[in-house]
């Protein structure tokens, strides 16, 4: 006698009003959240799958695409909640706007476009070699990010909310303009300790960039099998990844290090302020990621701190 499949009924409610938006009858027990998103999309063409956050709890985390209905803690009549994430933008657009923006904006100041510092200084160049070096480091940083976004990162989401990209662009473009304005200014004065300070900063900058890149490769290697889940990252043979012994987000530690180096190199207050804001932002994210790992993995290494070894 063949075994009988028990179909599920799935009702999808609005996460805020709890009003029923959709009722799906006879859903296969093996259906994934991705399948459910597609079924929901049929009823609501304006809410394409990437816009949908489907949750078990109205205020809880979004369920992942690959999660299977019968493995969720629900009965054969499942109640799921929907939240509209707003319009989404594909990654190509995201990184082009977010990262190529600062690269381009910095050049406007570096080459002293006529409308930047006034006509007397138009298209002139700074007499200080550190200004050229700063331009090379700044460009290197954003070109590296573009390359990583195309060739290294294996993101779990294909899109980003339009709202976040607008916010991020204000942040990255605005700061790039602000930093570039001061560093390339005709009245800019080079660092107090001269070449020694600059050399130290460049070496530190390169070490941090190499470290940041190594961590991104190590994270990407965790998804070589094509999965989208988050596993515990561990140190590899590459010594730059050994920071994983002590922190959860060494890529953020290295990123902050790179900006501290850039601050030392240029000795410029706006750069220091930008570095400080980056540090605050990344600390908030690192703490969030850290406590998520601790919650999800019983065997999560206890020595690790979110972003700064033994401290924070």
Ligand X SMILES: NC(=O)c1ccc[n+]([C@@H]2O[C@H](COP(=O)([O-])OP(=O)(O)OC[C@H]3O[C@@H](n4cnc5c(N)ncnc54)[C@H](OP(=O)(O)O)[C@@H]3O)[C@@H](O)[C@H]2O)c1
Give the nearest distance from C-beta 308 to ligand X in angstroms: 15
Instruction: Rule CB under 6 A: say whether 253 interacts with ligand X.
Output: no
Give the nearest distance from C-beta 146 to ligand X in angstroms: 11
- Rule CB under 6 A: choose which of 52, 126, 184, 212 binds ligand X: 212
Q: How far is CA 85 from the centre of its chain?
A: 17
Residue 194: how many other CB atoms lie within 10 Å:
10
Q: What does the radius of gyration of the chain's CA atoms come to, in whole angstroms?
A: 24
Instruction: Rule CB under 6 A: say whether 248 interacts with ligand X.
Output: no
Nearer to ligand X, 135 or 286 (CB): 286
Which residue, chain included where needed, has tokens 């204000």? Answer: 170
| Binding characters for ligand X, 129-158, by CB under 6 A (x = yes) | ------------------------xxxxx-
Residues with Cβ < 8 Å from 44, sequence gap 6 or more? 21, 22
Q: How many residues bind ligand X (CB under 6 A)?
A: 20
Give the nearest distance from C-beta 24 to ligand X in angstroms: 28
Residues with Cβ < 8 Å from 97, sequence gap 6 or more? 165, 169
Sole window of 1-9, 84-92, 93-101, 225-233 interacting with ligand X (rule: CB under 6 A): 225-233
- Rule CB under 6 A: choose which of 80, 165, 198, 282 binds ligand X: 282
Pair of tokens at residue 188: 């800019």
Instruction: Rule CB under 6 A: say whether 61 interacts with ligand X.
Output: no
The DSSP bridge pattern shows strands 8-14 and 77-84 to be parallel
Sole window of 45-53, 69-77, 158-166, 276-284 interacting with ligand X (rule: CB under 6 A): 276-284
CB 98 within 8 A of CB 160: no
Nearer to ligand X, 212 or 263 (CB): 212
- Rule CB under 6 A: choose which of 10, 69, 260, 278 binds ligand X: 278
Backbone phi and psi for residue 213, each to the nearest 5 degrees, phi listed first: -65, -45
The 3 state secondary structure assigned to 15-65 is CCCCCEEEEEEEECCCCEHHHHHHHHHHHCCCCCHHHEEEECCCCCCECCC
Nearer to ligand X, 70 or 292 (CB): 292
Of the candidates 94, 61, 84, the one whose C-alpha atom is nearest the C-alpha of residue 162 is: 94
Applying CB under 6 A, the residues found at the interface with ligand X are 153-157, 212, 219, 222-223, 230-231, 233, 249, 251-252, 255, 278, 281-282, 285
């Amino acid at each position: 006698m063949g075994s009988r499949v028990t179909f599920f009924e799935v009702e999808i409610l609005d996460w805020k009003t709890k009003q029923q938006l959709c009722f799906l009858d006879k859903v296969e027990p093996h259906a994934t959240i991705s399948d459910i998103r597609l079924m929901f999309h049929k009823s609501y063409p304006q809410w394409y799958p990437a816009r949908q956050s489907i949750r078990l709890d109205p205020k809880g985390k979004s369920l992942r695409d690959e999660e299977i209905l019968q493995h969720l803690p629900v009965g054969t009549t499942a109640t799921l909640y929907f939240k509209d994430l707003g319009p989404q933008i594909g990654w190509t657009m995201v990184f082009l706007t977010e990262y190529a923006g600062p690269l381009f904006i910095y050049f406007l100041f570096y080459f002293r476009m006529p409308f930047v510092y006034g006509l007397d200084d138009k298209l002139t160049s700074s007499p200080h070699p550190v200004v050229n070096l700063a331009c090379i480091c700044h460009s290197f940083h954003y070109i590296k990010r573009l390359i990583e976004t195309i060739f290294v990162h294996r993101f779990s989401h294909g899109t980003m909310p339009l709202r976040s990209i607008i916010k991020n662009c204000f942040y990255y473009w605005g700061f790039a303009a602000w930093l570039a304005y001061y560093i390339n200014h005709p009245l800019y004065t080079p660092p107090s300790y001269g070449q020694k300070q600059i050399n130290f900063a460049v070496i530190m900058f390169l070490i941090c960039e190499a470290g940041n890149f190594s961590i991104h490769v190590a994270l990407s290697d965790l998804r070589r099998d094509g999965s989208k889940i988050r596993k515990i990252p561990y140190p590899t043979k590459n010594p730059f990844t050994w920071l994983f012994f002590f922190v959860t987000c060494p890529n953020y530690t290295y990123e902050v290090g790179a900006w501290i180096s850039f601050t030392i190199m240029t000795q410029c207050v706006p750069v220091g302020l930008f570095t400080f804001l980056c540090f605050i932002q990344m600390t908030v994210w690192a703490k969030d990621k850290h406590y998520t790992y601790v919650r999800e993995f019983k065997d999560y290494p206890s020595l690790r701190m979110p972003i700064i070894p033994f401290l924070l």
